[in-house]
Amino acid sequence: RSAERLLLAALCSVCQALQDGMLFPTESPSREVKDVSGLWIFRADESPERSRGFEQQWYKSPLAETGPVIDMPVPSSYNDITQDAQIRDFIGWVWYEKDVWVPARWIQDRGTRIVLRVGSAHYYSVLWVNGVKVTEHVGGHLPFEADISGVLRQTSGNQCRITIAVNNTLTLETLPPGTIQYMTDRSRYPAGYFVQNTNFDFFNYAGIHRPVLLYTTPKAHIDDITVETTFSDNIGLVSFNVSVLGSSKAAVKVTLSAQDGRCVASADGSRGVLKVTDVNLWWPYLMHENPAYLYSMEVQATAEDGQTDVYTLPVGIRTVKVTSTQFLINNKPFYFHGVNKHEDADIRGKGFDWPLVVKDFNLMKWMGANSFRTSHYPYAEEILQMADRHGIVIIDECPGVGIKDIRSFGNVSLAHHLTVMEELVRRDKNHPSVVMWSVANEPASEMPPAGFYFKELVSHTRSLDSSRPVTYITASNYARDLGAPYVDVICVNSYFSWYQDPGHTELIGLQLNTQFDNWYGKYQKPIIQSEYGADAVPGLHSDPPMMFTEEYQKTVLQNYHNVFDQKRKEFVIGELIWNFADFMTSQSIIRVVGNKKGIFTRQRQPKAGAFLLRERYWRIANETGVLPTWARYPCL
């Protein structure tokens, strides 16, 4: 009973600052989903101020009537689709359009709510349906939606012309931040010439990056569900909070089923706690013989008019705790042996792509990785669902990368950053795979405003979700870091023998030991090496190793591993290689067609470092002693 009270108390602290929920659209007896991704048409606004589309109201008529259009796949970044360097490097408004048919019964049945949802578009988006503006959204990497029932019923009925204008311009107040620089030296630049400056090391891919969906719900519908879980002995406890919109008196019923379909608990009412006897906990991959166990929670909300909305949510029952030296999942020490990733691939850029997602999970499982960090922004919901199903643990990061300019620590930036954390927590709070929030990557955390900024950010994130620890990723000096006092886990990035003392792998041992001892000595918090690595151009070899060869990458990794093996007996709780795969960056003299720190190429072929990590990760996994012999690699 005391555990139940604790959970309810924790739930009361969940402050729903954003008004509406953002449940992932799924089909059910009361809901239909129509994917309207595919081939769209596209036009970049190349006018000097990028404002012609708005002046000429391109959303009012079919886009093809406004001027030349081209084909554009959705989801995909638009940058690498054409042969035109201007499209690749375009900054400003681009316009997308698609004509779709909406089933007649959706329109005729006035009890049906029709929603248009964009999985994500980078960066700023405005949406019109049949020429009527339905919503706008600031920020890439997170979903947004609009109820378009009214517009459809008032305009052309079943025909639905969707227009989406997307602008990738980054400013000091966006996340990530950036600046637009106008070049005024007329002897070197033509009139009106400008560039986008950023402080992050990946290509600023743009466009509609995730699926565009139409879906329906009854008018009185389940708007949001919040689940928190714990257990005591063999009893699992699932506390739930369901919010229903469109009816004040809807009757809510919640049923939890096991994987074999057996109902294990049920309750009436929009809040409560479900008790599961002989609970099957959600365990990470390689930590248990039967990892990633998911229950299925069916929520039914029946309104006064008798209509029932049904939504089914996968639920993993597990706990997360942090001590001064350990990260505990289900009260057992968890060691992160994983990767940092990017949403990045040839041609599609940051566009969501199932073959790529499944291949990446297969590679992670092949190499014995049990975790990844969503560096440097939130990944697609479908990726988190895969992680739930495979037991891959996630550090979920917001797009706060490259906050280096003191002006980006102001009130406007902070307010936006808080909103983005609300959007992120709202979207991802129910995923058992997500075990920690990361509020930023490598900010200029030694600048005086960073202290206040991160105090606010971390405490706001905790107020949104008290069940998970919060971190941010630092590369600054332990003595001058102003954010570290506020986080639960210290995540440090370092590049010894790469950006510092290039070529001197013999210094890694000393420098890394010093790094760990300094951070732990000052904060007494567990530490994750959240990035380390070296560029390797696939196929370049040298012995003794030289920078940029596969041997050098391997040697750097080995030197780090020697220290990790000592320190993981003390307070180091994880190691995440930078990076899982090579990825595209903007053009610069330190990048040869992108960043080559991947242990896989951009096409997902292994370099020598991948085999080294594979041996290591499986060896660490085998130490848990829970894996049956047949499931072990290398066979020991």
The CB-of-492 to ligand BDP minimum distance in angstroms stands at 11
The CB-of-469 to ligand BDP minimum distance in angstroms stands at 20
CB nearer to ligand BDP: pick between 66 and 445? 445
The CB-of-161 to ligand BDP minimum distance in angstroms stands at 39
- The verdict on 397 binding ligand BDP (CB under 6 A) reads no
- The verdict on 599 binding ligand BDP (CB under 6 A) reads no
Quick count: other Cβ atoms within 10 Å of Cβ 160?
A: 23
The residue sitting closest to ligand BDP, measured at its beta carbon, is 201
- The verdict on 595 binding ligand BDP (CB under 6 A) reads yes
The answer to whether the beta carbons of residues 599 and 362 sit under 8 Å apart is no
- The verdict on 130 binding ligand BDP (CB under 6 A) reads no
User: Which amino acid does the sequence have at 329?
Assistant: I
Q: Interior CA angle at 366 toward 361 and 370, to 5°?
A: 65
The CB-of-410 to ligand BDP minimum distance in angstroms stands at 23
Q: Name, in order, each residue with C-beta under 8 angstroms of 66's C-beta and a sequence gap of 6 or more.
A: 43, 53, 56, 58
Q: How far apart are CA 37 and CA 378, in angstroms?
A: 20
CB nearer to ligand BDP: pick between 93 and 498? 498
CB nearer to ligand BDP: pick between 200 and 293? 200
Q: How far apart are CA 52 and CA 36, in angstroms?
A: 27
- The verdict on 201 binding ligand BDP (CB under 6 A) reads yes
The answer to whether the beta carbons of residues 325 and 526 sit under 8 Å apart is yes
Q: DSSP string covering 255-278, please?
A: EEE-TTS-EEEEEESSEEEEEETT
The answer to whether the beta carbons of residues 141 and 83 sit under 8 Å apart is no
597, 607, 614, 616: residue in contact with ligand BDP (rule CB under 6 A): 597
Among the listed residues 636, 10, 33, the one whose alpha carbon sits nearest the alpha carbon of residue 368: 636
Among the listed residues 385, 57, 432, 58, the one whose alpha carbon sits nearest the alpha carbon of residue 236: 432
What is residue 12's three-state secondary structure?
A: helix
441, 474, 553, 559: residue in contact with ligand BDP (rule CB under 6 A): 441
- The verdict on 553 binding ligand BDP (CB under 6 A) reads no
Number of residues forming the site for ligand BDP (CB under 6 A): 9
Does the active-site annotation cover 442?
A: yes
The CB-of-579 to ligand BDP minimum distance in angstroms stands at 7
Burial 566-581 (b: 16+ CB within 10 A, else e): ebbeebbbbbbbbbbb
Q: What's the first-to-final CA gap in the chain, in angstroms?
A: 45
CB nearer to ligand BDP: pick between 149 and 441? 441
- The verdict on 531 binding ligand BDP (CB under 6 A) reads yes
Give, in order, the Cα–Cα distances in Å from 260 to each of 288, 430, 608: 19, 21, 42
The CB-of-342 to ligand BDP minimum distance in angstroms stands at 9
For residues 463-482, which are near ligand BDP according to CB under 6 A? 475
- The verdict on 353 binding ligand BDP (CB under 6 A) reads no
CB nearer to ligand BDP: pick between 145 and 397? 397
- The verdict on 493 binding ligand BDP (CB under 6 A) reads yes
Q: How far apart are CA 192 and CA 182, in angstroms?
A: 7
Quick count: other Cβ atoms within 10 Å of Cβ 624?
A: 16
- The verdict on 228 binding ligand BDP (CB under 6 A) reads no
Q: Catalytic residue among 343, 381, 397, 442, which?
A: 442
The CB-of-531 to ligand BDP minimum distance in angstroms stands at 5
442, 465, 481, 575: residue in contact with ligand BDP (rule CB under 6 A): 442
Q: Pattern of binders to ligand BDP over 33-62, x per CB under 6 A?
A: ------------------------------
Binding site for ligand BDP (CB under 6 A): 201, 441-442, 475, 493, 531, 578, 595, 597
The catalytic site residues sit at: 442
